[in-house]
């Protein structure tokens, strides 16, 4: 779908962006949920608006226990089904046999290989039959996300509509919404983890560090994406 400049630059509240995106997609739409505070806030909005947007998640096999805990809390609170996608077992087995359990720390190429197997390939399957997908990305999070639009065409995934309702929100706004509506929150967020991915690739950040500094902390800031949001 061709988007107008007006749509791309829209500064509507997240609820309006969700509604507009679901309408523009003109087909099945799903939220890609990592159970970050941004994603669970979006689940709450979707449920309050009663939008026909489903939820899927990628189980990389290396998530924190706290992530599974909040996933179950979300499932129970909202009574929703979460469609889980796993990496191909043969690809994970081959990677670990040939390169060990921590090859992703040896080079950027190796890290991209691990993310490709554990995240990107399962995402491709999750998006196969969708017309659009929703993310919790915000411009404030990192330099790699500073130019994202509220609604954009995802050329890396076959031209799907990509809906980013929280792009203009600050961390404070996200937290205020979550606390106001009593949304279940990953307890790692309160332990210095503003961004949470796979357990071996995520650490708490120090005061003054940027939002995603704890993700792949041995890499430079411009490389801190896993390939899910390829531009």
The residues annotated with a catalytic role in the active site are: 226
- Is residue 46 within 8 A of residue 148, CB to CB? The reply is no
The H-or-E segment that residue 54 falls in is strand 53-58
- Helix axes 108-115 and 89-99, enclosed angle (nearest 10): 160
Question: In whole angstroms, what is the distance from residue 42 CA to residue 31 CA?
Answer: 8
Question: In whole angstroms, what is the distance from residue 66 CA to residue 70 CA?
Answer: 6
- Is residue 179 within 8 A of residue 31, CB to CB? The reply is no
- Is residue 95 within 8 A of residue 114, CB to CB? The reply is yes
Residue 173, CA atoms < 13 Å, CB-side half-sphere: 11
- Is residue 229 within 8 A of residue 135, CB to CB? The reply is yes
The Cα-based distances of 43 to 32, 77, 134, 146, 207 in angstroms read 10, 11, 10, 23, 29
Burial of 104: CB neighbours in 10 Å, binned 0-12, 13-18, 19+: buried
């Amino acid at each position: 779908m061709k988007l107008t400049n007006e749509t791309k630059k829209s500064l509507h509240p997240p609820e309006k962006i969700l509604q507009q995106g679901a309408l523009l997609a003109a087909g099945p739409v799903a939220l890609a949920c990592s159970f970050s505070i941004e994603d669970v806030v979006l689940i709450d909005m979707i449920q309050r608006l009663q939008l026909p947007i489903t939820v899927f998640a990628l189980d990389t096999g290396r998530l924190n226990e706290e992530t599974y805990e909040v996933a179950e809390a979300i499932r129970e609170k909202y009574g929703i089904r979460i469609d889980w996608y796993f990496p191909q077992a043969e690809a994970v087995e081959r990677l670990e046999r040939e390169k060990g359990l921590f090859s992703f720390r040896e080079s950027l190429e190796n890290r991209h290989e691990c993310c490709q197997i554990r995240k990107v390939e399962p995402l491709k399957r999750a998006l196969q039959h969708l017309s659009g997908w929703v993310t919790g990305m915000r411009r404030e999070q990192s330099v790699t996300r500073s130019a994202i639009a509220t609604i954009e065409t995802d050329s890396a995934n076959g031209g799907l509509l990509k809906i980013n309702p929280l792009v203009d929100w600050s961390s404070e706004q996200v937290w205020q919404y979550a606390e106001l509506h009593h949304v279940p929150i990953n307890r790692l967020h309160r332990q210095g983890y503003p961004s949470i991915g796979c357990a071996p690739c995520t650490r708490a950040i120090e005061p003054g560090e940027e939002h995603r500094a704890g993700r792949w902390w041995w890499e430079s800031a411009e490389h801190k994406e896993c390939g899910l949001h390829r531009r």
